[in-house]
Structure 1
Amino acid sequence: MATQHDIALTRALTGIPGPLPPSGVIHVSFPHASRFTIVGNHLAQHDGLSLTAIGIGVHIQSLPAGSRVGIKALTARFAEGETTIAAALRELETHGYLYRTRARQTNGRLTTRTVFCDQPDALLRGGAVPPVAVELVPVRPVAVELAAVAPRPVMTPAVPAPAPAPAPTPVPEEAPPPVRVPSRIAPKPPRRPLPQPRELTPELHRAASALLADLRRHAPELVLSEDDVEELAPGAAAWLERGAHPDAIRHALTTELPQPPKYPAKIVRHRLAVLLPPPLPGAQELAPARRTPVTPFQTCEGCDRAFRSPDPGHCRDCRARYWEAA
């Protein structure tokens, strides 16, 4: 069987016009007569999509309308897990190929409506959508044969014919809500920069590098290269400069890791930037607030009324009476 394939391949290569390239792929193309899908190079060669997202996008585009393309259905069809497929679907949504909206059916139930656009740029430019071809099947009329019956005169009084009953008013069916397609793709939020210490001393850089290189002892998945350690050392140094204990830093970087972690350096960088603790407060911030001195109560020597004053004596009314008497 392999020999037949080799012979057929050699014959096909011989029929290709022009010189063959010395390296790279060589295309042996035959026209498809059935079971084929037209896929644009903007999807097949997309530089912003992963290979998994491109493959799932081509697979969804090849399916007929009404096929299930949820995470559960794709996981049952392919060997990739739910996390990988969910990430690929989010990539297709980000680049405008896939839209998932909630639609209410006529019975009141909410369902997820999935729309796949094979040319997102044309959709954003307002391109026309080709109408759906509907085949109309003519209905053959049925001939009804009536038996001929001789008429007989009947002597009956004339009775007025009843008025025809009004035809029922047809109730229009509730149309499904339109699919709302976002006008533009929301940009991703900018990535937080790696924290930097105020002063990266040699001792601080050495301690941060040792902490990062030692992560694989506590989490075998976090194997960092020398370049990764050199790049991430300022972020770990910022944690140490803010008084974080090495055990606390190690716990923050190695707890609840995604399985399997594909990019250990990106995970460490993200956690160093997002989970950075605030600087330790100083003695002035931790000192209790000073209380405002309160003027004590005094007892008036003339009327025994209580009044506030730093020194004993008479209240305001008694002082006024004594002043008038004087």
Structure 2
Amino acid sequence: MGTQQVSAPSRASSRVPGRVTAFGVIHVNAVHTSRFTIVGNHLAQHRELSLTAIGLAVHIQSLPDGAKVGIKVLADRFPESEARIAAALRELEEHSYLERTLVRLPGGKLVTRTISYNQPGGSQAPTAAPRPPAEPTRTASVPATPPAPAAELETAELPAPEAAPPAATVAEPAPAPAPVPPPPALPPPPLPEPQSPDLERHRVATDLLAGLRRDHPRLLLGERDVRRLAPAVVAWLEREATPDAVRHALTTGLPHPLKQPAALLAHRLASLLPPPLPDLPVPDVIHPIQDCTGTCKRVFRAPEPGLCRDCRREARARDDTEAPPAADAQAQAA
């Protein structure tokens, strides 16, 4: 009989002791004490979000306040293209995990403010963290001395009691700073007004606004909004902007989702109003070609036929030489 191999294990050991399963994932969880983010299963196991959108939402939730989360910044950080990142951001907006709004700064610059929600529909402002309970005050204990014999108590003086050390105090954590409210939104700029009434331009402006929904169904305007925005379009037409140019300025780069189409068109009509075209320079007058009536028969340009410049100079010199002196002229007159 062969010798029994006592060093070989009787069965294969499990990599996870105490947890054996036939199939599926096995979790090995470690307790995080720093640098971690809490993510709800409603996001991690979302049925309608793509895997790119879920990963992007987790990354945004892990960033500190004030971090940049623009499309170009995220495209430089991850291997996905700008188109995939933009589509993922739109998914998160549709499912209320993100909110992106345009905010006008005091200097007039427009910036995008992004708000990330770890719970869809959440709008609560962050509250201060609860203050941990203060530890009890600890004092130093003085060990008791054994009582002296009665004979010694009569003659020996009692020692002065030692001063108790000061109680150890526990520093309380500073309260969390209050959340800074966002800057107040500036009032929208006024709509431009036409310089003079023009029924034909007003008709073109009304047809342009009412017909935007043919190419962009999201730009469906009510009749009241069309009447309110038509004078602003007339102001563009007065400045020699063609209807196609106005339509291109109003429909290019529409945000998604578009919640208030009339407010967006009013903002673009007021902020993108083109300046008036400068006056065209007056062209130089070109005179017709004339033949000199003098002896040179030179060709020159002049409004009427006559002498050329050289012949006029010779005629003036000839008149000066043939004229009598002033004294002779006075004598002849006398």
Q: TM-score, normalised by structure 1?
A: 0.37
Q: Which structure's CA Rg is the greater one? A: 2
